[in-house]
Structure 1
Amino acid sequence: MKVVSWNVNGIRACVKKGFNDFFEQMQADIFCVQEIKCQEGQIELPFDGYEHYWNYAEKKGYSGTAVFTKQRPLSVQYGLNGQDSEAEGRVLTLEFEKFFLVNCYTPNSQRDLARLSYRLKWEDEMLAHLTELDAQKPVIYCGDLNVAHEEIDICNVKSNYGNSGFTKEERAKMTRLLDSGFIDTFRYLHPNQEGAYTWWSYMRDVRARNIGWRIDYLLISNRLQSTLQTSEIHAEILGSDHCPISAEFVFA
């Protein structure tokens, strides 16, 4: 089973830059996208054989998530805490026979850290959500989690200490999540790989020089470790300021 995740930074714009070609190329069983920046009815995608689930933000041209899956889920939840709606469209939870799939676009704490307290509260609520799910069956948690966890996950370490996405508070929340029973699939399979980034600023030549951050993740419950086969970053794929990531699993 192949899972793909991609912050597309506006799916309508990304479609014009090759999204559909990459989608067909990957032949994923589950394809998750974040930051769709669209409302219902604003785009039609020709992906035969896939169920489509969209969580639109109330604010136009902002946030939002979607999941395309070959297998129909047993249930779908929009948002956190048992809610079936969420104003910014940041979370989709799909239940399948052997696992839960959670697609997430984590709030950015903003450049001046004005939203850091909100972000930290969000992390607490997400941990509670994932823990509740994990008590029922294993979880695959993916998306733009908006944090470079360790120094190896960011290019310019010293100049970014304390910046949004690399504060000690945000990094500590990721550590806590992993310690609670989850595996960072990429770091598990590529523990020492440097220069492995998933987001680059649009500033001139930054991506060409690979001055980036790894802030997109595929995490799994510890007990799915034996099913994990691959976890990859597709840095060669353009179309967004983020690149896609993927992981493959074999279920008995």
Structure 2
Amino acid sequence: MKFISWNIDSLNAALTSDSNRAIMTRDVIKTIIDENPDIIAIQETKIPQTGLNKKHKAKLEEFFPAYDYVHVTSREGARKSYAGCMTLYKKDLKCMESFPEIDAPDTMDLEGRIVTLEFEDFYFNQVYTPNAGNELKRLNLRQIWDEKFAQYLSTLDKNKPVISAGDFNVAHREIDLAHPDNNHFSAGFTDEERQGFTNLLAKGFIDTFRYVNGDVKDKYTWWAQRVKTSKINNSGWRIDYFLVSERIKDKIKRSDMIDSGDRQDHTPIVLEIEI
């Protein structure tokens, strides 16, 4: 099976806007469709709390005619048109969906951050992990999230193997970002966030990119939009991951990034695995 995950930074805009950025986003969607994945995980959809409107649904059918989908948005109590996740899956696949709450702090359980599909032989989970925020204002809350999410995945793993994808908002190792020395106190590379990811892996999960590609450097999934030269100079971070249960690691065939051209921010990632 082939899986693709992407923090799209507004599916809403991609479906409703004709801005230059929205057009670039739709070009990346075409690239994803050309890969013909079985499952597509999309984070940061920014769909309004009122849900998908007629235009959204028509465009989804236009772009993804071979797929059914499930999605979760932010709810009352959280910021509006914030976060959100959508999972698309080929129409011949049979699964049960859930939108777990993990007893996360603050409004994190209301922000539409987790979708899980249960298939006969495995779980597919996608996550949009909360950012520690400007001046690390949410770092303490983020540490609680990391503990709760690791517990949740571990619970799934007791029943059947897990594939978990998404924007984990952490560069785990120094080789996972271009300038580690300058970022030890930046959101996404604090000791606390890195340890949280280490603790998650220790519960029996594999970072598939590192498993397949070893200690390759200069391979990233995110480049800052606000720095115009960040992608040109490959001044990036690897913060998007496919994790799998350790007991299925030998089934992994490919784990890599997909070229998103000139579009900055996140690039899609792909996993191929015999499952």
Report if the CA contact (8 A) 1:78-1:86 is conserved. Answer: no
Measured against aligned partners, the alpha-carbon deviations of 1:57-92 in whole angstroms (never above 9, x if no partner) come to 123321000000115443211133399x94100000
Aligned residue for 1:34?
43
Aligned-partner Cα distance in 2 for 1:193–1:235:
17
Where do residues 46-57 of structure 1 align in structure 2 (5 Å cutoff)? Answer: 46=61, 47-57=64-74
Aligned partner of residue 186 in structure 1, secondary structure: helix
Aligned residue for 2:252?
228
Aligned partner of residue 83 in structure 2, secondary structure: coil
Match of 1:139 among 151, 159, 162: 162
Q: Determine if the alignment matches structure 1 residue 81 to structure 2 residue 90.
A: no
Aligned-partner Cα distance in 2 for 1:33–1:240:
16
The total of aligned residue pairs comes to 250
Aligned residue for 1:7?
7
Measured against aligned partners, the alpha-carbon deviations of 1:139-168 in whole angstroms (never above 9, x if no partner) come to 001100000000000111111012110000
Aligned-partner Cα distance in 1 for 2:93–2:110:
25
Aligned residue for 2:19?
none
Measured against aligned partners, the alpha-carbon deviations of 1:44-66 in whole angstroms (never above 9, x if no partner) come to 21222311101111233210000
Report if the CA contact (8 A) 2:4-2:32 is conserved. Answer: no
Q: Which moved more, 1:43-52 or 1:98-107?
A: 43-52
Match of 2:32 among 6, 23, 28: 23
Aligned residue for 2:83?
63
Report the Cα offset of residue 22 of structure 1.
Answer: 2.1
RMSD of aligned residue pairs (Cα, Å): 1.8
Report if the CA contact (8 A) 2:103-2:109 is conserved. Answer: no
Aligned partner of residue 6 in structure 2, secondary structure: strand
Report if the CA contact (8 A) 1:7-1:240 is conserved. Answer: no
Aligned-partner Cα distance in 1 for 2:94–2:244:
18
Aligned partner of residue 148 in structure 1, secondary structure: coil
Q: Which moved more, 1:3-12 or 1:67-76?
A: 67-76
Match of 1:189 among 212, 228, 231: 212
Percent identity (aligned)? 36
Where do residues 145-164 of structure 1 align in structure 2 (5 Å cutoff)? Answer: 145-164=168-187
Report if the CA contact (8 A) 2:41-2:87 is conserved. Answer: yes
Report the Cα offset of residue 247 of structure 1.
Answer: 0.6
Aligned-partner Cα distance in 2 for 1:147–1:228:
22
Distance 1:235 1:22, change over 3 A: closer
Report if the CA contact (8 A) 1:108-1:146 is conserved. Answer: yes
Which structure 2 residue ranges, 5 or more long, are not aligned?
16-22
Aligned-partner Cα distance in 2 for 1:237–1:7:
15
Q: Determine if the alignment matches structure 1 residue 247 to structure 2 residue 259.
A: no
Report the Cα offset of residue 180 of structure 1.
Answer: 1.4
Measured against aligned partners, the alpha-carbon deviations of 1:69-119 in whole angstroms (never above 9, x if no partner) come to 115443211133399x94100000110011101100000001211101110
Report if the CA contact (8 A) 1:80-1:129 is conserved. Answer: no
Where do residues 98-117 of structure 1 align in structure 2 (5 Å cutoff)? Answer: 98-117=121-140
Report if the CA contact (8 A) 2:167-2:241 is conserved. Answer: yes
Q: Which moved more, 1:148-157 or 1:58-67?
A: 58-67
Higher helix share: 2
